[in-house]
Structure 1
């Protein structure tokens, strides 16, 4: 599973950092991937599906 955040779309709402704090952190005006998840983490998919501006992409 590979996760990316489109900083240009991100509004830094923090929902992803709340859902998966070991993967996401809000830094400045955008969320950042601080570590790729090990294996398939359903919380990461939930964060991507819940992103209000669809800035999170999950592959794999």
Structure 2
């Protein structure tokens, strides 16, 4: 699984960091991926992706 964040869309609201703090962190004005989960899809990452208000998170398998 590879997680990316489109910083042209990200508004730094922190929802992703709240949903999956082991994967996301807000640094400055944007969210960043601090670790790429290995193995199968993490439901917390799915919650962050689905809950992003500007659809800035992309998860590929």
Which TM-score band applies after superposition, normalised by the shorter structure?
Answer: over 0.9
Specify the alignment match of 1:49 in structure 2: 50
> CA–CA distance in 2 between the matches of 1:45 and 1:37?
12
Q: CA deviation at 1:8?
A: 1.1
Please identify runs of 4+ aligned residues in structure 1 that moved more than 3 A.
Answer: none
> CA–CA distance in 1 between the matches of 2:7 and 2:35?
16
Q: CA deviation at 1:19?
A: 0.6
The alignment's TM-score, normalised by the length of structure 2, stands at 0.93
Aligned runs of 1:25-36 on 2, under 5 Å? 25-36=25-36
Gaps of 5+ in 2: none
Instruction: Supply the RMSD in Å over aligned alpha carbons.
Output: 0.7
Deviations 1:1-45 (A, max 9, x none): 110000110000000001111100000010000110122101101
Specify the alignment match of 1:15 in structure 2: 15
